[in-house]
């Protein structure tokens, strides 16, 4: 029986790093938006 071919995850070794990137980027945007709001008000 042939072994099941496991597909490569692009860029990172684990999906966990992809999830951290997405959440981390959102948090960064929220911080930037906060300062954006403060600065222009």
Binding site for other proteins (CB under 8 A): 7-10, 15, 18-19, 21-23, 25-26, 29-30, 33-34, 36-37, 39-41
Q: How far apart are CA 13 and CA 22, in angstroms?
A: 15
Q: How far apart are CA 32 and CA 41, in angstroms?
A: 14
Provide the minimum distance between the beta carbon of 1 and other proteins in the complex, in angstroms, as a whole number.
Answer: 18
Closest to other proteins by CB, 2 or 35? 35
Provide the minimum distance between the beta carbon of 11 and other proteins in the complex, in angstroms, as a whole number.
Answer: 9
């Amino acid at each position: 029986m042939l072994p099941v071919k496991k597909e490569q995850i692009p860029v990172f070794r684990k999906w966990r790093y992809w999830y951290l990137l997405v959440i981390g980027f959102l948090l960064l945007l929220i911080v930037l938006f906060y300062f954006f709001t403060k600065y222009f008000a």
